[in-house]
Structure 1
Amino acid sequence: MSHPRSALGPEDLVKAARASGVTDERLLCALRATPRSDFVPASHRASAYADVPIPIGHGQVTTQPSLVAMMVAALALTGDERVLEVGSGHGFQTALLARLAAYVVGVERWADIAEQARVNLAGQGIENAEIVVGDGTLGVADRDPFDAIVISAAFPEVPPPLAAQLKAGGRLVQPIGPGGQERVELYEKSDQGLVCRRTVALAYFVRLYGAYGYPPTAPFEDAG
Protein backbone atom coordinates (compact mmCIF):
# COMPACT_ATOMS: atom_id res chain seq x y z
CA MET A 1 0.00 0.00 0.00
CA SER A 2 1.44 3.35 -0.99
CA HIS A 3 1.23 6.36 1.28
CA PRO A 4 0.60 9.91 0.11
CA ARG A 5 3.89 11.72 -0.38
CA SER A 6 4.47 15.39 0.15
CA ALA A 7 5.33 17.65 -2.78
CA LEU A 8 7.68 19.33 -0.33
CA GLY A 9 10.91 17.83 0.99
CA PRO A 10 13.63 18.21 3.64
CA GLU A 11 15.07 21.25 1.88
CA ASP A 12 11.83 23.10 2.61
CA LEU A 13 12.38 22.55 6.34
CA VAL A 14 15.94 23.82 5.97
CA LYS A 15 14.58 26.96 4.29
CA ALA A 16 12.02 27.42 7.09
CA ALA A 17 14.77 27.05 9.71
CA ARG A 18 16.96 29.60 7.93
CA ALA A 19 14.00 31.98 7.70
CA SER A 20 13.62 31.65 11.48
CA GLY A 21 17.19 32.78 11.98
CA VAL A 22 18.97 29.43 12.33
CA THR A 23 22.51 29.64 10.96
CA ASP A 24 24.18 26.56 12.53
CA GLU A 25 25.31 24.62 9.46
CA ARG A 26 25.71 21.34 11.38
CA LEU A 27 22.07 21.62 12.45
CA LEU A 28 20.89 22.52 8.97
CA CYS A 29 22.74 19.50 7.57
CA ALA A 30 21.12 17.29 10.22
CA LEU A 31 17.72 18.70 9.27
CA ARG A 32 18.44 17.94 5.62
CA ALA A 33 19.54 14.37 6.46
CA THR A 34 16.59 13.48 8.72
CA PRO A 35 13.43 12.55 6.79
CA ARG A 36 10.54 13.94 8.83
CA SER A 37 8.18 11.75 6.79
CA ASP A 38 9.61 8.77 8.71
CA PHE A 39 8.76 10.40 12.06
CA VAL A 40 5.08 11.24 11.62
CA PRO A 41 1.99 8.99 11.46
CA ALA A 42 1.38 7.50 8.03
CA SER A 43 -1.90 9.41 7.79
CA HIS A 44 0.00 12.71 7.96
CA ARG A 45 2.99 12.00 5.72
CA ALA A 46 1.66 14.32 3.04
CA SER A 47 2.21 17.18 5.52
CA ALA A 48 5.59 15.99 6.78
CA TYR A 49 7.62 18.73 5.08
CA ALA A 50 5.24 21.57 5.82
CA ASP A 51 6.45 23.72 8.69
CA VAL A 52 3.49 22.80 10.90
CA PRO A 53 2.81 20.68 14.01
CA ILE A 54 1.33 17.22 13.40
CA PRO A 55 -0.92 15.28 15.82
CA ILE A 56 0.54 12.03 17.20
CA GLY A 57 -2.19 10.86 19.59
CA HIS A 58 -3.04 11.34 23.28
CA GLY A 59 -3.76 15.00 22.56
CA GLN A 60 -0.08 15.54 21.66
CA VAL A 61 1.40 17.22 18.60
CA THR A 62 4.88 17.44 17.19
CA THR A 63 6.68 20.75 17.54
CA GLN A 64 6.78 22.91 14.42
CA PRO A 65 10.07 22.02 12.64
CA SER A 66 11.41 25.58 12.45
CA LEU A 67 10.79 25.92 16.18
CA VAL A 68 12.55 22.61 16.82
CA ALA A 69 15.51 24.01 14.88
CA MET A 70 15.49 27.25 16.89
CA MET A 71 15.39 25.38 20.21
CA VAL A 72 18.13 22.92 19.22
CA ALA A 73 20.28 25.73 17.81
CA ALA A 74 20.05 27.54 21.17
CA LEU A 75 21.78 24.56 22.82
CA ALA A 76 24.90 25.30 20.70
CA LEU A 77 25.87 21.62 20.46
CA THR A 78 29.36 20.80 19.23
CA GLY A 79 29.28 16.99 19.17
CA ASP A 80 30.55 15.85 22.56
CA GLU A 81 27.50 16.52 24.70
CA ARG A 82 25.16 14.34 26.72
CA VAL A 83 21.64 15.65 26.10
CA LEU A 84 18.36 15.12 27.95
CA GLU A 85 15.16 15.60 25.95
CA VAL A 86 11.81 15.86 27.73
CA GLY A 87 8.92 15.02 25.43
CA SER A 88 10.34 12.91 22.61
CA GLY A 89 7.17 12.38 20.61
CA HIS A 90 7.89 10.25 17.56
CA GLY A 91 11.60 10.99 17.72
CA PHE A 92 12.25 13.63 15.06
CA GLN A 93 13.90 16.10 17.44
CA THR A 94 15.66 13.16 19.12
CA ALA A 95 17.17 12.21 15.77
CA LEU A 96 18.43 15.74 15.17
CA LEU A 97 19.97 15.85 18.64
CA ALA A 98 21.60 12.45 18.10
CA ARG A 99 23.24 13.70 14.91
CA LEU A 100 24.63 16.71 16.78
CA ALA A 101 25.64 15.28 20.17
CA ALA A 102 27.37 12.23 21.61
CA TYR A 103 24.42 10.77 23.50
CA VAL A 104 20.73 11.56 23.90
CA VAL A 105 18.18 10.21 26.36
CA GLY A 106 14.58 11.15 25.71
CA VAL A 107 11.75 10.87 28.21
CA GLU A 108 8.25 10.29 26.87
CA ARG A 109 5.09 10.01 28.93
CA TRP A 110 3.15 7.63 26.67
CA ALA A 111 4.49 4.09 26.15
CA ASP A 112 3.04 3.65 22.65
CA ILE A 113 4.48 6.98 21.46
CA ALA A 114 7.84 6.06 23.02
CA GLU A 115 7.87 2.71 21.24
CA GLN A 116 7.11 4.38 17.91
CA ALA A 117 10.01 6.76 18.51
CA ARG A 118 12.33 3.79 19.16
CA VAL A 119 11.20 2.16 15.91
CA ASN A 120 11.67 5.40 13.98
CA LEU A 121 15.16 6.00 15.37
CA ALA A 122 16.21 2.41 14.67
CA GLY A 123 14.95 2.83 11.12
CA GLN A 124 17.45 5.65 10.68
CA GLY A 125 20.29 3.61 12.15
CA ILE A 126 20.59 5.96 15.12
CA GLU A 127 22.29 4.12 17.99
CA ASN A 128 23.35 6.94 20.33
CA ALA A 129 19.84 7.78 21.55
CA GLU A 130 17.49 5.97 23.90
CA ILE A 131 13.86 6.63 24.82
CA VAL A 132 12.53 5.93 28.30
CA VAL A 133 8.93 6.11 29.51
CA GLY A 134 8.28 8.19 32.58
CA ASP A 135 7.81 11.56 34.23
CA GLY A 136 9.98 14.01 32.34
CA THR A 137 9.91 16.55 35.17
CA LEU A 138 12.03 14.11 37.19
CA GLY A 139 14.67 13.87 34.47
CA VAL A 140 16.83 10.75 34.32
CA ALA A 141 19.01 10.86 37.42
CA ASP A 142 20.97 7.71 36.63
CA ARG A 143 22.19 9.24 33.34
CA ASP A 144 23.15 12.69 34.61
CA PRO A 145 24.84 15.09 34.50
CA PHE A 146 23.75 16.52 31.16
CA ASP A 147 25.48 19.16 29.08
CA ALA A 148 22.18 20.27 27.56
CA ILE A 149 18.47 19.80 28.25
CA VAL A 150 15.52 20.60 25.99
CA ILE A 151 11.92 20.46 27.20
CA SER A 152 9.11 20.27 24.64
CA ALA A 153 6.20 21.15 26.94
CA ALA A 154 5.24 24.23 28.93
CA PHE A 155 5.31 25.09 32.62
CA PRO A 156 5.80 28.43 34.40
CA GLU A 157 9.17 27.39 35.84
CA VAL A 158 11.99 24.92 35.23
CA PRO A 159 11.45 21.71 37.25
CA PRO A 160 14.13 21.61 40.00
CA PRO A 161 15.28 18.04 39.16
CA LEU A 162 16.11 19.15 35.62
CA ALA A 163 18.10 22.13 36.85
CA ALA A 164 19.94 19.81 39.26
CA GLN A 165 20.86 17.35 36.48
CA LEU A 166 22.39 20.05 34.26
CA LYS A 167 26.16 20.50 34.36
CA ALA A 168 27.71 23.79 35.36
CA GLY A 169 27.90 25.85 32.19
CA GLY A 170 25.23 23.70 30.56
CA ARG A 171 22.29 25.04 28.57
CA LEU A 172 18.59 24.38 29.03
CA VAL A 173 15.72 25.39 26.73
CA GLN A 174 12.12 25.33 27.93
CA PRO A 175 8.80 26.95 27.02
CA ILE A 176 7.87 29.05 30.07
CA GLY A 177 4.15 29.64 30.48
CA PRO A 178 0.80 28.02 31.26
CA GLY A 179 0.51 25.92 28.09
CA GLY A 180 -0.85 27.71 25.03
CA GLN A 181 1.10 30.98 25.24
CA GLU A 182 4.81 30.65 25.99
CA ARG A 183 8.20 32.28 25.87
CA VAL A 184 10.79 29.70 24.90
CA GLU A 185 13.70 30.61 27.14
CA LEU A 186 17.39 29.73 27.03
CA TYR A 187 19.00 29.22 30.44
CA GLU A 188 22.63 28.66 31.38
CA LYS A 189 23.69 27.07 34.66
CA SER A 190 26.04 29.18 36.75
CA ASP A 191 27.30 28.90 40.32
CA GLN A 192 24.16 30.76 41.36
CA GLY A 193 21.83 28.39 39.51
CA LEU A 194 19.97 28.87 36.25
CA VAL A 195 20.36 32.24 34.55
CA CYS A 196 17.99 33.21 31.73
CA ARG A 197 20.12 34.28 28.78
CA ARG A 198 17.52 35.12 26.14
CA THR A 199 14.09 34.41 24.71
CA VAL A 200 14.43 32.02 21.77
CA ALA A 201 10.87 32.39 20.46
CA LEU A 202 7.25 32.97 21.34
CA ALA A 203 5.21 29.82 20.81
CA TYR A 204 2.31 27.59 21.82
CA PHE A 205 3.05 24.30 23.59
CA VAL A 206 1.11 21.55 25.32
CA ARG A 207 1.43 21.50 29.10
CA LEU A 208 4.21 19.75 30.98
CA TYR A 209 2.71 17.15 33.33
CA GLY A 210 4.42 15.46 36.23
CA ALA A 211 5.53 15.69 39.83
CA TYR A 212 7.18 19.08 39.12
CA GLY A 213 4.71 20.18 36.44
CA TYR A 214 0.95 20.21 36.13
CA PRO A 215 -0.89 17.40 37.94
CA PRO A 216 -1.30 14.50 35.48
CA THR A 217 -4.80 13.84 34.18
CA ALA A 218 -3.91 10.15 33.74
CA PRO A 219 -1.23 7.90 35.26
CA PHE A 220 2.21 7.79 33.71
CA GLU A 221 2.57 4.55 31.81
CA ASP A 222 4.89 1.86 33.01
CA ALA A 223 7.94 1.38 30.79
CA GLY A 224 7.58 -2.38 31.36
Structure 2
Amino acid sequence: MNIEQARFNMIEQQIRPWEVLDQDVLNLLSIVKRENFVPAAYRNIAFADLEVPLPGGQRMLSPKVEARVLQELAVHKGETVLEIGAGSGYMAALLAHRGRSVKTVEISPELADFAKQNLAANGVANAEVINGDGALGWPDDGPYDVICVSGGLPVMPQEFLEQLKVGGRIAAFVGTAPVMKAQIITRVDEKQFRVSDIFETLVSPLKNAVHPSAFKF
Protein backbone atom coordinates (compact mmCIF):
# COMPACT_ATOMS: atom_id res chain seq x y z
CA MET A 1 0.00 0.00 0.00
CA ASN A 2 1.20 3.51 -0.83
CA ILE A 3 0.85 5.06 2.63
CA GLU A 4 1.11 8.68 1.55
CA GLN A 5 -1.40 8.22 -1.27
CA ALA A 6 -3.81 6.56 1.15
CA ARG A 7 -3.37 9.45 3.60
CA PHE A 8 -3.96 11.99 0.81
CA ASN A 9 -7.11 10.14 -0.28
CA MET A 10 -8.38 10.06 3.32
CA ILE A 11 -7.97 13.81 3.66
CA GLU A 12 -9.37 14.75 0.24
CA GLN A 13 -12.16 12.18 -0.12
CA GLN A 14 -13.36 11.68 3.48
CA ILE A 15 -12.34 14.60 5.64
CA ARG A 16 -12.50 17.68 3.45
CA PRO A 17 -16.04 16.82 2.19
CA TRP A 18 -17.09 16.63 5.85
CA GLU A 19 -16.61 20.39 6.14
CA VAL A 20 -13.15 20.14 7.62
CA LEU A 21 -11.49 23.05 5.86
CA ASP A 22 -9.13 24.40 8.54
CA GLN A 23 -5.75 24.07 6.85
CA ASP A 24 -3.93 23.69 10.18
CA VAL A 25 -6.09 20.66 10.99
CA LEU A 26 -5.58 19.17 7.53
CA ASN A 27 -1.82 19.67 7.82
CA LEU A 28 -1.79 18.03 11.23
CA LEU A 29 -3.34 14.89 9.77
CA SER A 30 -0.21 14.54 7.65
CA ILE A 31 2.13 15.25 10.58
CA VAL A 32 0.59 12.83 13.11
CA LYS A 33 0.81 9.43 11.46
CA ARG A 34 -2.50 7.66 12.03
CA GLU A 35 -1.08 4.32 10.88
CA ASN A 36 1.32 4.39 13.86
CA PHE A 37 -1.61 4.38 16.30
CA VAL A 38 -3.65 1.47 14.96
CA PRO A 39 -2.96 -2.16 15.95
CA ALA A 40 -0.48 -3.78 13.56
CA ALA A 41 -3.12 -6.21 12.28
CA TYR A 42 -5.25 -3.30 11.00
CA ARG A 43 -2.51 -1.08 9.58
CA ASN A 44 -3.81 -1.65 6.04
CA ILE A 45 -7.17 -0.05 6.96
CA ALA A 46 -5.73 2.82 9.01
CA PHE A 47 -7.14 5.36 6.53
CA ALA A 48 -10.48 3.70 5.80
CA ASP A 49 -13.78 5.44 6.54
CA LEU A 50 -14.60 3.19 9.50
CA GLU A 51 -13.91 2.65 13.20
CA VAL A 52 -10.73 0.58 13.45
CA PRO A 53 -10.94 -2.19 16.11
CA LEU A 54 -8.81 -1.80 19.23
CA PRO A 55 -7.93 -4.27 22.02
CA GLY A 56 -10.70 -5.07 24.47
CA GLY A 57 -13.51 -4.62 21.97
CA GLN A 58 -13.05 -0.83 21.70
CA ARG A 59 -12.83 1.14 18.44
CA MET A 60 -11.14 4.26 17.16
CA LEU A 61 -13.43 7.00 15.94
CA SER A 62 -13.53 7.30 12.16
CA PRO A 63 -11.00 9.74 10.63
CA LYS A 64 -13.62 12.29 9.55
CA VAL A 65 -15.21 12.39 13.02
CA GLU A 66 -11.82 12.90 14.70
CA ALA A 67 -10.91 15.67 12.27
CA ARG A 68 -14.24 17.47 12.58
CA VAL A 69 -14.11 17.40 16.39
CA LEU A 70 -10.54 18.72 16.30
CA GLN A 71 -11.58 21.57 14.02
CA GLU A 72 -14.61 22.54 16.09
CA LEU A 73 -12.68 22.53 19.38
CA ALA A 74 -10.14 25.01 17.94
CA VAL A 75 -7.51 24.24 20.58
CA HIS A 76 -4.87 26.94 21.09
CA LYS A 77 -1.22 26.56 22.06
CA GLY A 78 -1.56 27.67 25.67
CA GLU A 79 -4.58 25.54 26.52
CA THR A 80 -4.86 22.54 28.83
CA VAL A 81 -6.86 19.60 27.51
CA LEU A 82 -8.62 16.68 29.16
CA GLU A 83 -9.58 13.72 26.99
CA ILE A 84 -11.81 10.93 28.24
CA GLY A 85 -11.20 7.65 26.42
CA ALA A 86 -7.58 7.45 25.27
CA GLY A 87 -8.11 4.49 22.96
CA SER A 88 -4.98 4.19 20.85
CA GLY A 89 -3.67 7.62 21.84
CA TYR A 90 -4.23 9.10 18.37
CA MET A 91 -6.72 11.80 19.35
CA ALA A 92 -4.52 12.72 22.32
CA ALA A 93 -1.60 13.13 19.92
CA LEU A 94 -3.62 15.45 17.69
CA LEU A 95 -4.78 17.49 20.68
CA ALA A 96 -1.25 17.62 22.11
CA HIS A 97 0.11 19.14 18.91
CA ARG A 98 -2.39 21.98 19.25
CA GLY A 99 -2.53 22.51 23.04
CA ARG A 100 -0.08 23.03 25.89
CA SER A 101 -0.74 19.72 27.61
CA VAL A 102 -3.16 16.80 27.45
CA LYS A 103 -4.34 14.40 30.13
CA THR A 104 -6.14 11.43 28.61
CA VAL A 105 -8.01 9.04 30.89
CA GLU A 106 -8.55 5.42 29.85
CA ILE A 107 -10.46 2.87 31.94
CA SER A 108 -8.92 -0.20 30.23
CA PRO A 109 -5.40 -0.98 31.53
CA GLU A 110 -4.59 -2.71 28.24
CA LEU A 111 -5.60 0.29 26.16
CA ALA A 112 -3.91 2.73 28.54
CA ASP A 113 -0.63 0.87 28.01
CA PHE A 114 -1.21 0.77 24.24
CA ALA A 115 -1.80 4.54 24.17
CA LYS A 116 1.27 5.23 26.32
CA GLN A 117 3.46 3.16 24.01
CA ASN A 118 2.08 4.84 20.89
CA LEU A 119 2.50 8.37 22.24
CA ALA A 120 6.06 7.66 23.40
CA ALA A 121 7.02 6.00 20.11
CA ASN A 122 5.76 9.03 18.19
CA GLY A 123 7.55 11.59 20.34
CA VAL A 124 4.46 13.12 21.96
CA ALA A 125 5.88 14.37 25.25
CA ASN A 126 3.07 16.67 26.44
CA ALA A 127 0.33 14.03 26.70
CA GLU A 128 -0.11 11.96 29.86
CA VAL A 129 -2.16 8.73 29.91
CA ILE A 130 -4.03 7.99 33.14
CA ASN A 131 -5.56 4.57 33.79
CA GLY A 132 -8.84 5.42 35.50
CA ASP A 133 -12.58 5.91 35.18
CA GLY A 134 -13.34 9.25 33.51
CA ALA A 135 -17.12 8.83 33.22
CA LEU A 136 -17.49 11.92 35.43
CA GLY A 137 -14.40 13.68 34.11
CA TRP A 138 -11.13 14.04 36.02
CA PRO A 139 -11.38 16.88 38.55
CA ASP A 140 -7.94 16.36 40.13
CA ASP A 141 -6.15 18.67 37.70
CA GLY A 142 -9.00 20.88 36.49
CA PRO A 143 -10.45 23.15 35.51
CA TYR A 144 -9.51 22.68 31.86
CA ASP A 145 -9.66 24.86 28.75
CA VAL A 146 -10.85 21.95 26.61
CA ILE A 147 -12.51 18.61 27.37
CA CYS A 148 -12.81 16.03 24.59
CA VAL A 149 -15.01 13.02 25.34
CA SER A 150 -14.06 10.29 22.86
CA GLY A 151 -17.04 8.09 23.67
CA GLY A 152 -20.80 8.37 24.02
CA LEU A 153 -22.64 10.06 26.91
CA PRO A 154 -26.37 9.29 27.21
CA VAL A 155 -26.59 12.58 29.14
CA MET A 156 -24.02 15.28 29.92
CA PRO A 157 -23.08 15.01 33.61
CA GLN A 158 -22.90 18.25 35.57
CA GLU A 159 -19.42 17.23 36.72
CA PHE A 160 -18.01 17.80 33.23
CA LEU A 161 -19.44 21.31 33.09
CA GLU A 162 -17.94 22.16 36.47
CA GLN A 163 -14.45 21.11 35.29
CA LEU A 164 -14.47 23.63 32.42
CA LYS A 165 -12.93 27.11 32.59
CA VAL A 166 -14.95 30.12 31.48
CA GLY A 167 -14.43 30.32 27.72
CA GLY A 168 -13.61 26.62 27.61
CA ARG A 169 -15.17 24.03 25.29
CA ILE A 170 -16.38 20.44 25.63
CA ALA A 171 -16.73 18.12 22.63
CA ALA A 172 -19.03 15.20 23.36
CA PHE A 173 -21.33 12.69 21.67
CA VAL A 174 -24.57 13.02 23.61
CA GLY A 175 -27.68 10.83 23.46
CA THR A 176 -28.53 7.22 22.76
CA ALA A 177 -29.10 4.97 19.72
CA PRO A 178 -30.24 5.30 17.02
CA VAL A 179 -29.04 8.91 16.82
CA MET A 180 -26.56 10.84 18.95
CA LYS A 181 -25.47 14.44 18.55
CA ALA A 182 -21.88 15.62 18.43
CA GLN A 183 -21.98 18.79 20.49
CA ILE A 184 -19.63 21.63 21.34
CA ILE A 185 -20.54 23.07 24.75
CA THR A 186 -18.94 26.43 25.55
CA ARG A 187 -18.83 27.90 29.05
CA VAL A 188 -19.97 31.49 28.60
CA ASP A 189 -19.62 32.48 32.27
CA GLU A 190 -19.85 30.90 35.72
CA LYS A 191 -23.48 29.84 35.21
CA GLN A 192 -24.19 29.85 31.48
CA PHE A 193 -23.29 27.36 28.76
CA ARG A 194 -23.89 27.51 25.01
CA VAL A 195 -24.61 24.23 23.21
CA SER A 196 -24.00 23.81 19.46
CA ASP A 197 -25.06 20.65 17.62
CA ILE A 198 -22.39 19.89 15.03
CA PHE A 199 -23.50 16.63 13.39
CA GLU A 200 -25.40 13.42 14.10
CA THR A 201 -23.61 10.13 14.61
CA LEU A 202 -23.58 6.96 16.69
CA VAL A 203 -20.65 5.96 18.91
CA SER A 204 -20.27 3.43 21.72
CA PRO A 205 -20.95 4.86 25.18
CA LEU A 206 -18.24 5.29 27.75
CA LYS A 207 -18.04 2.45 30.23
CA ASN A 208 -19.89 3.53 33.39
CA ALA A 209 -21.44 6.50 31.58
CA VAL A 210 -24.27 8.18 33.45
CA HIS A 211 -27.73 7.24 32.13
CA PRO A 212 -30.90 9.34 32.46
CA SER A 213 -32.50 6.79 34.80
CA ALA A 214 -29.73 7.47 37.31
CA PHE A 215 -31.07 10.95 37.97
CA LYS A 216 -33.56 11.40 40.78
CA PHE A 217 -35.80 14.46 40.91
Same fold (TM over 0.5): yes
User: TM-score if structure 1 supplies the norm length?
Assistant: 0.87
- The offset of 1:10, in angstroms, is 2.3
Contact 2:105 2:129 survives alignment (8 Å): yes
Identify which of 179, 183, 198 aligns with 1:200: 198
- The offset of 1:203, in angstroms, is 0.9
Per-residue CA deviations over 1:154-212 (Å, capped at 9, x if unaligned) read: 1232122211111011111111112553110111112323321x2121111001233x5
Q: Corresponding residue for 2:110?
A: 112
Q: Corresponding residue for 1:176?
A: 174
**Structure 1 stretches of 5 or more lacking a match?**
215-224
User: TM-score if structure 2 supplies the norm length?
Assistant: 0.90
Q: Corresponding residue for 2:9?
A: 12
User: How many residue pairs end up in the alignment?
Assistant: 210
Contact 1:137 1:161 survives alignment (8 Å): no
**Structure 2 stretches of 5 or more lacking a match?**
212-217
Which stretch of the first structure deviates more once superposed, 44-53 or 155-164?
A: 155-164
Give yes or no for the alignment of 1:213 onto 2:213: no
Q: Corresponding residue for 1:222?
A: none
Which stretch of the first structure deviates more once superposed, 87-96 or 130-139?
A: 130-139
Please give the alpha-carbon distance, in whole angstroms, between the structure 2 residues aligned to 1:13 and 1:159.
34
Percent identity between the two aligned chains: 31
Q: How do 1:56-67 and structure 2 match up within 5 A?
A: 56-67=54-65
Moved over 6 A (4+): none
Identify which of 138, 163, 166 aligns with 1:165: 163
Please give the alpha-carbon distance, in whole angstroms, between the structure 2 residues aligned to 1:194 and 1:86.
20
Amino acid across the alignment from 1:206: S
Please give the alpha-carbon distance, in whole angstroms, between the structure 2 residues aligned to 1:180 and 1:122.
37
Give yes or no for the alignment of 1:148 onto 2:112: no
Contact 2:56 2:110 survives alignment (8 Å): no
Please give the alpha-carbon distance, in whole angstroms, between the structure 1 residues aligned to 2:134 and 2:56.
16
Which stretch of the first structure deviates more once superposed, 4-13 or 178-187?
A: 4-13
CA distance change for structure 1 residues 63 and 190 in 2, over 3 Å: closer, same or farther? same
Q: Corresponding residue for 1:79?
A: 77
CA distance change for structure 1 residues 7 and 167 in 2, over 3 Å: closer, same or farther? closer
Please give the alpha-carbon distance, in whole angstroms, between the structure 2 residues aligned to 1:143 and 1:14.
34
Q: Corresponding residue for 1:100?
A: 98
Per-residue CA deviations over 1:108-137 (Å, capped at 9, x if unaligned) read: 110110111111011111100011011112
Give yes or no for the alignment of 1:29 onto 2:27: yes
Contact 1:27 1:100 survives alignment (8 Å): no
* Higher helix fraction (1 or 2): 2
